[in-house]
Amino acid sequence: MVSVINILLVIDAIVMVVLVLLQSGKSAGLSGAISGGAEQLFGKQKARGVDLILHRGTIVTAVLFFILAFLSAYVLQ
């Protein structure tokens, strides 16, 4: 049981890293270099399309990572 949870934890960590690396940066392009802080503060750029899917996938994998890490520590005791 512990090895299954640990294998799922490693797979989830790899998927989460890939999802984070596939996301575009918040300050991509010249407009981000000039007014990146203002756009981030006021939220003018909403995630759409692929960025939205990647963002939600990252949230799901992060929650799953937390649950698996908790289960891994709980099963070991």
Q: What is the pLDDT of residues 17-50, one digit of tens each?
A: 999 999 887 665 555 555 555 555 555 556 678 8
Query: Residue 27's pLDDT is what?
Result: 64
Q: Cα–Cα–Cα angle for 24, 30, 34, nearest 5°?
A: 105
Q: Taking the model in full, what pTM does it have?
A: 0.71
DSSP notation for 4-64: HHHHHHHHHHHHHHHHHHHSPPTT-SHHHHHHHHHHHHHT-----THHHHHHHHHHHHHHH
Q: How far apart are CA 68 and CA 8, in angstroms?
A: 8
